[in-house]
Amino acid sequence: MSARLVLATRNAHKVGELRAILGDVLGAAVEVLPVDDPSLPPAVDVAETGVTFAENALLKARAVAATTGLPSVADDSGIAVDVLGGSPGVFSARWAGRHGDDAANLALLLAQLADVPEPHRGAQFVCAAALVVPGGVERVEHGRLRGVLERAPRGAGGFGYDPALRPDGHDLTCGQLAPEAKNAISHRGQAFRALAPAVLEALGGRGAGG
């Protein structure tokens, strides 16, 4: 029987990314379930009241682990812009006022930076990935991807602020990179790959080898 791991998110884009990132390590022996999978008890929405990405990731993972009784992973991530003093930060998903409106959030951020020259358009994606095992382990790992914000979105891939950030050393934005190329360098990929050994240990060592 497969070990079960719950992803504390209803975001279909994020579920796809996390399955791809974790899949190479966890393999077919682990069933990776989104929080709204019909086989799981209904999960309550968690208010992201933390002031750091790590705090919010732990809030979500704890709530889902408590509801399902299964090991849970969650992330909180966003973009930190140098000239904005690290904002939007934990407010990235609701920068324009309504949570999850990617187009409005991106449009507002680029409008705020309209007069900022390229040498000062540095930014980074930041991710905190959390694992919570019911009655046991809690672990958080971080990932960061530095880059420069374009003046207009480029590319239809990814989600959130992906079409605006061009990673250092690349000619394409995260929205133009192929999913495999993006996952190899992304903040989320870094954080979850760092978390993977703790996930494997929590699941009894079951990995890609079975």
Give the active site residues. 76
Residue 2 contacts residue 184 (beta carbons within 8 Å): no
Cβ count near 118 (within 10 Å):
10
Tokens of 186: 């992304």
Neighbours of 136 (CB within 10 A): 10
* SS3 of residue 93 by DSSP: helix
> Which residue(s) pair with 16 in the sheet?
none
In eight-state DSSP terms, residue 43 is P
